[in-house]
Amino acid sequence: MSSTVMERLPANSATRGTLSAGRRIITSPKYAPVLVTLGLFIAMFVSGGVRYDNFWSPQVLLNLFVDNAYLIVLAVGMTFVILTGGIDLSVGSVIALSAMICAKLLEAGVPAAGVIAVTLIATSLLGLGMGLMIHVFKVQPFIATLAGMFLARGLCYVISEASISINDPFFVSMASTRIPLGGSASITISVIIALLVVAVAFYVLHYSRFGRTVYALGGSEQSGTLMGLPVGRTKVLVYVVSGLCSGISGVLYSFYTLSGYSLTAVGTELDAIAAVVIGGTLLTGGYGFVLGSALGVLVLGLIQTMISYEGTLSSWWTRIFIGGLLLVFIVLQKVLTRRRD
Partner 1 sequence: MTQVLSPADAVVDMVGVTMEFPGVMALDGVDFRMYPGEVHSLMGENGAGKSTLIKVLTGVYTATAGDMHLAGSKVSFSTPAQAQDAGISTVYQEVNLLPNLSVAENIMLGREPRRFGSLDWHAMRRRAAELLEGLNLDIDPGSLLGSHSIAIQQLVAIARAVDVNATVLILDEPTSSLDTDEVAELFRVIRTLKEQGCAILFVSHFLDQVYEIADRLTILRNGRLVGEYRTEEILKIDLVQKMIGKEMASFSELEQRHRESEEEIAGTGIPFLEAKGLGRRGAIRPVDFSIDEGEVVGLAGLLGSGRTEIARLLGGIDRADSGTSEVNGKAVKLTSPRKALSKRIAFASEDRRGEGIVGDLSVRDNIALALQIERGWYRPISPKRVTELAQHYIDALNIRPADPHALVRNLSGGNQQKVLLARWLAVAPRLLILDEPTRGIDIGAKAEIQKLVFNLAENGMSVLYISAELEEVLRLSHRVGVMRDRHMVSMVENDSLSVEDLLALIAEGSEDEDEKDVVA
Partner 2 sequence: MSAQLRNFTGSRVFWPVVILVGLIIVDVIAFPGFLDITVKEGHLFGAPIDILRNGAPTLLIAVGMTLVIATRGIDLSVGSIAAISGAVVSALLLNSPTPDNPWTVVQAVGIALILGFILGVWNGTLVAYLKIQPIIATLILMTAGRGVAMLITEGQILTLHSKPFEWFGSGFIAGFPVAVVIAAVVLILTMLVVRRSALGMFIESVGINPEASRQAGIRSRGLLLGIYAFCALLAALAGLIITSDQTAADANNTGLFIELDAILAVVIGGTSLMGGRFSLIGTLVGVLVIQTLVTTVYIVGIPPVATMVFKAIVVIAVSLLQSPTTNEKFANWRKDRRRPTPTKAIEPTREKVSA
Binding-site ranges for partner 1 (CB under 8 A): 2, 5-6, 8-14, 24, 28-30, 203, 206-209, 212, 215-216, 218-220, 222-224, 226-229, 286-287, 340
Q: Tell me if 28 contacts partner 2 by CB under 8 A.
A: no
Q: For residue 85, what are the β-bridge partners?
A: none
d(CA 95, CA 80): 17
Angle among Cα 292, 297, 301 to the nearest 5 degrees reads: 145
Minimum CB separation from partner 1 for residue 1, in Å?
A: 8
186 or 318: CB nearest partner 2:
318
Cα gap 133→140, rounded to integer Å: 8
Residue 38's alpha-carbon distances to 35, 142, 265, 280, 303, in angstroms, are 5, 30, 27, 10, 14
Out of partner 1, partner 2, none, which partner does residue 203 contact, by CB within 5 to 8 A per kind? partner 1
Instruction: Provide, rounded to whole angstroms, the least separation between the CB of residue 234 and partner 2.
Output: 19
Exposed, middle or buried: residue 317 (CB in 10 Å: 0-12, 13-18, 19+)?
middle
When CB distances are held under 5 to 8 angstroms depending on the partner's kind, the choice from partner 1, partner 2, none that residue 215 binds is: partner 1
Tell me: does residue 13 bind partner 2 (CB under 8 A). no
Q: Which of 61, 49, 105, 82 is nearest to 286 (CA)?
A: 82
How many residues lie near partner 2 (CB under 8 A)?
Answer: 45
Restricting to residues 292-321, name those near partner 2 by CB under 8 A: 314, 316-321
Q: Give the x-and-dash track for 234-263 against partner 2 (CB under 8 A).
A: ----------------------------x-
* 173 alpha carbon, distance to own chain's centre: 26
Residues of span 126-185 touching partner 2 by CB under 8 A? 133, 136-140, 142-144, 146-151, 153-155, 157-158, 161
DSSP per-residue codes, 137-201: S---HHHHHHHHHHHHHHHHHHH-SS-EE---HHHHHHHH-EEE-STT-EEEHHHHHHHHHHHHH
Residue 286 CB, shortest distance to partner 2, in Å, is 14
Alpha carbon 139 to its chain's center: 23
Q: Which H or E run includes 104?
A: helix 91-107
C-beta of 224: minimal distance to partner 2 in Å?
Answer: 20
Binding site for partner 2 (CB under 8 A): 87, 133, 136-140, 142-144, 146-151, 153-155, 157-158, 161, 262, 266, 270, 273-274, 277, 283-284, 314, 316-324, 326-327, 330-331, 334
